[in-house]
Amino acid sequence: MLLNIKNLVATVEDTEILKGVDLTVGLGEVHVIMGPNGAGKSTLANVLMGHPKYQVKDGAVEFNGEDLLDMDVDERAKKGIFMSFQHPQEIPGVALANFIRTAKREITEQKVNLLEFSKELVSKLNQLNMKQEYMDRSLNQGFSGGEKKKSEIVQMAMLKPKLAILDETDSGLDIDAIKVVYEEIQNMAQKDNSIILITHYSRILDFVKPDAIHVLKDGKIVATGDRSLADRIEAEGYDIFN
């Protein structure tokens, strides 16, 4: 068991968004979370990452056997949690390569071999159909929506987190880019690496094979199933879940 969430209740500006979320994620598993707008999907991601805007009022979260809620944001990252943002921020003056290399050094607390790092980064960029010149460009500055999402996946692939939380990575991507991105995500899910995918679209299931699909609605997980659950949502919508 990598992640164990029990009765998680969280608020944003005194408004209760998460109303008792229960979720377990094992090592090497891929979990997809779907749900209507405002259901609490992004709130769950931000709470797990430790965003100060979100206040936990009840419940417990264990990560790798430790109390996650007792950790600062940087400690969570060092323990192996990575989050890609629904709307990645631009950081002028900070090159993509330097950003990833610094993050890797801080997380591993080891010196990064520049030659090996550069070779691996070029390889990951090529896999995602991104030009090598992106290494030296400011993080996300001037990137298209799809390029920003690919940049996040490059960061994930280079940092190799134990748990990657991906918030609507498919938004802004065309179908070819979705295929490339989700193939890399699937490759990431090994026996020691787990992934939580937050999405509105069942089309990603053509490229990734989740161990479970969860429906988050009104601040709670109201259903869990396999691909057939996503197909049912596609056909009937979320109103079938009371």
34-43 confidence digits (pLDDT tens): 999 989 999 9
* Concatenated DSSP letters of 80-100: TEEEE-SSPPPEEEEEHHHHH
pTM, entire model: 0.92
pLDDT at 177: 82
Q: Which long-range contacts (CB under 8 A, 24 or more apart) does 68-71 make?
A: 68/3
Q: Phi/psi of residue 140, each to 5°?
A: 70, -5
Task: Compare 68 and 178 and report the one with higher pLDDT.
Answer: 68
pLDDT at 198: 94
61-116 confidence digits (pLDDT tens): 999 999 999 999 999 999 999 999 878 888 999 999 999 999 999 998 999 999 99
Res. 33 pLDDT band, cuts 50 70 90: very high
182-232 confidence digits (pLDDT tens): 888 888 877 788 999 998 878 788 888 899 999 999 999 999 999 999 999
Tell me how far apart the alpha carbons of residues 73 and 51 are, in angstroms, rounded to a whole number: 7
Question: What residues contact residue 239 under an 8 Å CB cut-off, 6+ apart?
Answer: none
108-121 confidence digits (pLDDT tens): 899 999 999 999 99
Q: Is the pLDDT of residue 172 over 80?
A: no
Asked if residues 181 and 128 have their Cβ atoms less than 8 Å apart, the reply is yes
pLDDT at 116: 95
Asked if residues 29 and 70 have their Cβ atoms less than 8 Å apart, the reply is no
132-171 confidence digits (pLDDT tens): 999 999 999 988 888 888 999 999 999 999 999 999 887 7
Angle (nearest 5°) at CA 145 between 144 and 150: 95
